[in-house]
Amino acid sequence: MVQLKFSNSNIFSFKLVEGVQGKKYLMDLSSVRPKSVIWGGLPDTVSVASYELENENVQFELKNKTSNGLKVGIIVALQPLLYTLYNLLQSLFVSYKISQQLGIKSLLFAISMLISFLMVISFLNFNKKKVKDRLGQKGSVQTFIFKPTKRIYDGYLIFIISLVCYIVYLFINNGSEGAVLIVNTVLSMLSFAYTNSAIPVAEYYQAGTYELVEFREG
């Protein structure tokens, strides 16, 4: 049986795959079908689209990992922005007494989730366009067919995280709800990315949850 070797690419939601006929492929993790597999569904097969790459093609290789210094720099740079946003939201909640208006308060929470979803989708579309621009006319689509061996319920992570945030959010009535909105936006982005645009096919395969049963060219 063919053993697949996965590695990270330099584009979010795409993985490099080797092991089929000695060739290299760029797998689109957002193309997993059906999506129900992440919500407890157990279909006969799961398909994932990929692009065949020339072996000498290194434009998708992850050459240098982000240094710790750069990560710290990004975190430090974001702190003033988050602090300003928090103060703005706090002022909004206090000035308009939103803490006592359950309807508007709940609407703002829903908007924070919608913003997260739209940001993930926009980022995904941007990355897909970047891949197509790099490949040009050379990107022939190939399909990996996997057989899931057990049910996966990772999709419900979105609801669990958001429910916890929402409960905490409702119990705060002093204007500091903005902090929860910011946290919920970030966590929702990660959850939407995980369950929609970056489904961890490699991890499922390596854990034996997915078994490769077919590879379709063209």
pTM score, two decimals? 0.88
**What local confidence, expressed as pLDDT, does residue 181 receive?**
94
| pLDDT tens by residue, 158-208 | 789 889 999 999 999 998 999 999 999 999 998 899 888 889 999 999 999
Q: How far is CA 204 from CA 6, 55, 162, 199, 201, in A?
A: 11, 25, 25, 9, 5
Distance CA 215, CA 118 (A): 33
Q: What's the confidence (pLDDT) of residue 68? A: 58
Alpha-carbon distance of 2 to 116, in angstroms, equals 38
| Structure tokens given for 4 | 């697949």
- What is the per-residue pLDDT for 42? 96
Is residue 6 over pLDDT 90? yes
User: 155 or 105: which carries more pLDDT confidence?
Assistant: 105
pLDDT of 64 reads 67
In this prediction, residue 70 carries a pLDDT of: 56
Q: Residues 27, 11: contact at Cβ < 8 Å?
A: no
Return the SS3 of 74: helix
Average pLDDT over every residue of 108-118:
94
pLDDT tens per residue across span 8-64: 999 999 999 998 888 999 999 999 999 999 999 999 999 999 999 988 889 999 876
pLDDT bucket at 74, cuts 50 / 70 / 90: confident
| pLDDT (tens digit per residue) in 122-154 | 999 999 999 999 998 767 889 999 999 999 998
Q: Domain locations in the chain?
A: 5-216
Alpha helices for 22-67 (secondary structure H): none
* Residue 133 CA, distance from chain mean position: 21
Number of neighbouring beta carbons within 10 Å of residue 173: 12
Q: Copy the structure tokens of residue 27.
A: 């797998």
